[in-house]
């Protein structure tokens, strides 16, 4: 028996990075998983790596219709949703505030914040409130604690997720539903490695030099892996986390230490 035997989970943004890793870890511990993202071929690949306990669906978290169809996929196949992983996100385009465009601002807030609201609302209405049980996990960023230049759109969305988490936890708590927020620092993903490679080239550094500069501010002098972050998500979603709700918990190798 795994920690998630008989549990049904939805993971958004399950096409690259943390999402597919987390979906596989949930399934390895017994969960049935809906893997959702905008690029169907990538979520189909993630679902194929899991097998019969996964279903792939194309869903843009900013579309009410797509989110409803995503939750339908879980309801029609398995009849409930126990775990909602609001992992989908976009960093938007880097712009100083005086260059900011409404499109970049609205798009980023739409995916990173409104998407989490739409998915949470749908699973609460379709399953969790009635069953008086469920765990919703939002994915913020340590950027939401910092004044990251050229990232007002992303910083604002990720900071707001921590406040949103408290309201969901408070409102849904008496229905037996918990909501928590994970605040990752750098996660060792292809996206981040490509970014460090690009900055290294710009600065005339080797990749290793740039990596060393990047981890300088962390206590552990390294990046988290996707598995490190997923481990916290799985703990919070499991019964072991049953008294934890409304919290934002940082996984960043000891960089910002906000509490």
Q: How far apart are CA 240 and CA 227, in angstroms?
A: 18
Name the token pair of 31.
């969960």
**Interaction between residue 54 and ligand NAD (CB under 6 A):** no
Q: Which residues pair with 151 in a beta bridge?
A: 95
| 195 is known as an active-site residue | no
Contact between 89 and ligand NAD by CB under 6 A: the answer reads: yes
Residue 246's nearest CA partner among 133, 118, 138, 128 is 138
Member of 53, 56, 84, 90 binding ligand NAD (CB under 6 A):
90
* 62 interacts with ligand NAD by CB under 6 A: yes
For residues 215 to 254, the per-residue mask of contacts with ligand NAD, x marking binding by CB under 6 A and - elsewhere, is ----------------------------------------
Give the residue with the Cβ less far from ligand NAD, 16 or 156: 16
Asked if residue 19 binds ligand NAD (CB under 6 A), the reply is: yes
- DSSP assignment of 46-98 equals HHHHH-TTEEEEE--TT-HHHHHHHHHHHHHHHS---EEEE--------B-GG
Q: Which of 8, 10, 34, 37 binds ligand NAD (CB under 6 A)?
A: 37
58: number of CA atoms within 13 Å, CB side?
5
Chain residues that interact with ligand NAD, rule: CB under 6 A: 12-13, 15-19, 37-38, 60-62, 87-90, 111, 115, 139, 141, 184, 186-187, 189, 191-192
């Amino acid at each position: 028996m795994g920690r998630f035997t008989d549990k049904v989970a939805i993971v958004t943004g399950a096409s690259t990075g943390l999402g597919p890793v987390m979906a596989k870890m949930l399934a390895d511990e017994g969960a049935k998983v809906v893997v959702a993202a905008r690029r169907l071929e990538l979520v189909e690949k993630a679902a194929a790596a899991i097998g019969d306990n996964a279903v792939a669906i194309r869903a843009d978290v900013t579309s009410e219709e797509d989110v409803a169809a995503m939750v339908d996929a879980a309801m029609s196949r398995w009849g409930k949703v126990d775990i909602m992983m609001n992992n989908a996100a976009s960093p938007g385009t880097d712009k100083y505030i005086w260059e900011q465009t409404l499109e970049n601002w609205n798009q980023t807030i739409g995916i990173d914040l409104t998407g989490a609201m739409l998915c949470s609302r749908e699973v609460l209405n379709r399953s969790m409130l009635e069953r008086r049980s469920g765990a919703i996990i939002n994915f913020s960023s340590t950027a939401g604690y910092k004044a990251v230049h050229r990232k007002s759109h992303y910083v604002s969305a990720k900071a707001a997720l921590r406040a949103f988490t408290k309201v969901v936890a408070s409102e849904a708590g008496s229905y037996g539903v918990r909501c928590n927020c994970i605040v990752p620092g750098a996660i060792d993903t292809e996206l981040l490695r490509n970014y460090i490679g690009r900055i290294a080239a710009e600065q005339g550094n080797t990749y290793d030099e740039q990596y060393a500069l990047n981890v300088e501010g962390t206590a552990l002098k390294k990046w988290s892996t996707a598995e490190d972050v997923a481990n916290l998500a799985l703990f919070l979603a499991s019964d072991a986390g049953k008294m934890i709700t409304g919290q934002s918990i940082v996984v960043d190798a000891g960089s910002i230490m906000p509490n």
